[in-house]
Amino acid sequence: MAYWWVNQKQTFDRAVKAGYLWSPKTNVKGDTNPFYEHMTQVRPGDVVFAFANTRIKAVAIVNGAHYAKDRPEDFKKTDNEWRKDGWAVPVDYHLVDSPLKVSEYMAQIGPYLPAKYSPLKQDGKANQAYLFPVPGKMATELLALLKVDIDDLGDWQDEVLVKEVREDKNLGETEKAQLIKARVGQGIYRKNVSNVEKACRVTGTGDAKFLIASHIKPWAKSTNGERLDGNNGLMLAPHIDRLFDRGYISFEDDGELILSKQLPETVRLKWDVVQKIPRVAFSGAQIRYLHYHRDVLFRK
């Protein structure tokens, strides 16, 4: 997934009610603008931080492709000078419990601001434009400050990703069915993983009823072939799966458990996160996916 920042000011309440982002295609002079062009680069499953009145008020998940849409009637009531022809991106807004006043947290956010197209100035004031790309590390910091876990929106994201599979014209009906079953925890993917991995590599649990078939390289980042590949998976106890998915643990190529420095010691002790069985080296096919997990997902 990619991350974005949208400045909505007076349009926030209207946009939440309507369930989309909206911007003109060009500025009032008819010139292109990268912050409007970004609307055409957003993809289903992407995450958007919705900013209004000095605060991040919502986290939205994109649920469809952008499309051409004339300026909505409600948006005409603002004092912005916009052209009529524009882009819309459908999103599902999730209002946060405590809107984040970002200017109060620039010590944490500031180091991750991008050099180009930054949504914020170093003093925490918003740059005046519409849609900005957000680097992954900045997004991680914002989600932590907002106390939002994207995985808690997982059921809805599943619907987005399954819809993406259903609408893929390059897939046959049989392959679509297999991929959808794999996404919702049934069928061929779980079987493929269990053919490779027989037990949880941390707890030693071998009873399949108590194990989750967890992707090493996430579904959203995998090709269709990788999504069904048994080598791209581990059979893990539920609490171990949660830590693995969020990058608090990983594995060396020889099977040794790695603990992130960001894993709280209280959690490690209460969950008894200790490798209870002898480590077993991964195969070459598995190692390719593990390298991705350690390089991209693991919290150093």
pLDDT tens, residue by residue, 92-145: 888 888 899 999 999 999 999 999 999 999 888 999 889 999 998 899 899 889
What ranges do the domains of the chain cover? 3-152, 175-297
| Whether the predicted pLDDT of 38 surpasses 90 | yes
Own/partner contacts of 149-152, CB < 8 Å, gap of 24 or more, are 149/246, 150/47, 150/59, 151/245, 151/246
Measured between alpha carbons, how far is residue 60 from residues 2, 106, 125, 207, 227 in Å? 12, 22, 21, 38, 25
pLDDT tens, residue by residue, 252-269: 999 999 999 999 999 999
CB 262 within 8 A of CB 256: no
* CATH number, span 3-152: 3.10.590.10
CB 131 within 8 A of CB 24: no
Global model pTM greater than 0.95: no
Q: Residue 14: what pLDDT?
A: 84
Q: Which residues pair with 126 in a beta bridge?
A: 120
Of 167, 164, 113, which Cα lies nearest the Cα of 141? Answer: 113
- Sign (positive or negative) of CA dihedral 10, 12, 16, 22: positive
**Orientation of helix 187-196 relative to helix 173-183, angle to 10°:** 70
